[in-house]
Amino acid sequence: METLAATAAERAAQVRTPGHVMVTTPESLYLLLTSASGRTRLRHVRTVIIDEIHALMRDKRGSHLALSLERLERLVTETGARRPQRIGLSATQKPLELVADFLGGTAPSRPTPVIVDCVGPRRFDLGIELPGGELEAVMATEQYGEVVARLAEVVAEHRTTLIFVQSRRLAERLAHQLTEALTDAGLIADAELVVASHHGSLSLKRRRHVEKQLKSGQLRALVATASLELGIDVGPVDMVCQVGSPKSIATFLQRIGRANHHVGGTPTARAFPLSRGELVETVALFDAIARGELDAIDVPDAPLDVLAQQMVAEVAAVGDDTPDALYDTLRAAAPYRHLTREVFDEVLHLVAERLRDRSAWLGRLITRSRDFH
């Protein structure tokens, strides 16, 4: 397997001896499609697998990827090879028809995407943990202390516990408080060695170190925000706690799915709402899971800033191109199915003429010959 390594030497080695499998990101795929060496490596791609496709579709990152897939297909088929097979994977996608439409694109010559629905009944071990007093609009200090104490008990009862929170500040604060609670109660010796935090303000090196500790089983508890990539192997987690509302069915399912993540394992999780409103959200969330409901995905409609970026990149990579060919390529991406030629030409005019901001003139990003004015 080939991965996009961090060092220049490793990347150079991959160019000299390409692997059979490349693991990359939408952003890195875009860069590869724009560089000469990257395009050489991608000309022989036969299959593209998009994991956790639901997480990409809902924002401009998915629109960007959809355009990159069309550019990749154009690159591959120019050699006479068949179009790359696209495969999308996710356990929390809805509606399936929309996901299939996004994945397949809109070129009329393409076959209808095949949907493989493997969803079946699944058991969950879920529960809501509440403090002794009634929850109000804002949690009282005494009640928060009860939450920390109960979390410490849960951590002590399990081998590895993932605790998800909504902010970086709370991640640091709760990790520190759990360390003190576990130590003071004598639940775990040297708690500072087994409780850590993970959030976007930490350096990449620090986050990778914490992830390595988690995977190897060195941590008893990790307090994390959404910065923790759930697609990685997080190790032997047997309990997930959600502090506050996750605001999304799919997000919560992805998180609890990390607990007992093995064949025959039962996802186990406890929710800790911090206010009356979050309690209502949590009850609704549990009800949706019991009924097998998921959040409906809303795909952005043709974001033009993303279109302009990909337009410039494709022309830079291909060299001489025609507006007709460029339009056909980019409009085949599902988010741009309704892109009119008039709007396309306006964006093309924008990047082909001088762009002016408040302080300076910027040069043309695309040069158009007279034949295409």
pLDDT digits (tens, 9 = 90+) for 279-326: 999 999 999 888 888 777 888 999 999 999 999 999 989 887 889 999
pLDDT at 94: 79
Three-state secondary structure string covering 165-208:
CCCHHHHHHHHHHHHHHHHHCCCCCCHHHCEEEECCCCCHHHHH
Q: Residue 357 and residue 350: Cα distance in Å, rounded?
A: 12
pLDDT at 91: 78
Q: Work out the widest C-alpha separation in the chain, in whole angstroms.
A: 80
Please report, as a single letter, which amino acid is at residue 298: D
Please report, as a single letter, which amino acid is at residue 97: E
Q: Do domains 2-118+300-372 and 125-290 have the same CATH topology?
A: yes
- Per-residue pLDDT of 333-363, as tens digits, reads 999 999 999 999 999 888 887 655 544 455 5
Domain ranges of the chain: 2-118+300-372, 125-290
Closest CA to 269 of 278, 257, 279, 256: 256
Higher pLDDT, 358 or 222: 222
Radius of gyration, alpha carbons of the chain: 24
Closest CA to 53 of 107, 118, 2, 104: 104
Statement: residue 2 has pLDDT above 60: no
Please report, as a single letter, which amino acid is at residue 349: H
Q: Which two structure tokens, joined as six digits, stand for 186?
A: 């004598």
> What's the average model confidence in pLDDT over 138-145?
90
Pick the CATH number of 2-118+300-372 from 3.40.50, 1.10.8, 2.60.120, 3.90.930: 3.40.50
Q: Which alpha helices (DSSP H) does 43-167 contain, by range?
A: 53-57, 60-77, 96-104, 141-157
pLDDT at 274: 94
Pick the CATH number of 125-290 from 3.40.50.1970, 3.40.50.300, 3.20.20.450, 3.90.1640.10: 3.40.50.300
Q: Name 230's Cβ contacts closer than 8 Å, sequence gap at least 6.
A: 254, 255, 257, 258
> What's the average model confidence in pLDDT over 15-23?
78
pLDDT at 369: 62
- Per-residue pLDDT of 100-131, as tens digits, reads 999 999 888 888 888 888 766 678 889 999 99
Percentage, residues of the chain above pLDDT 90: 44
Say if CB 299 and CB 334 are below 8 A apart.
yes
pLDDT at 183: 85
Least confident of 43-57, 115-129, 222-236, 337-351: 222-236
DSSP notation for 297-352: P------HHHHHHHHHHHHHHH-S--HHHHHHHHHTSGGGTT--HHHHHHHHHHHH
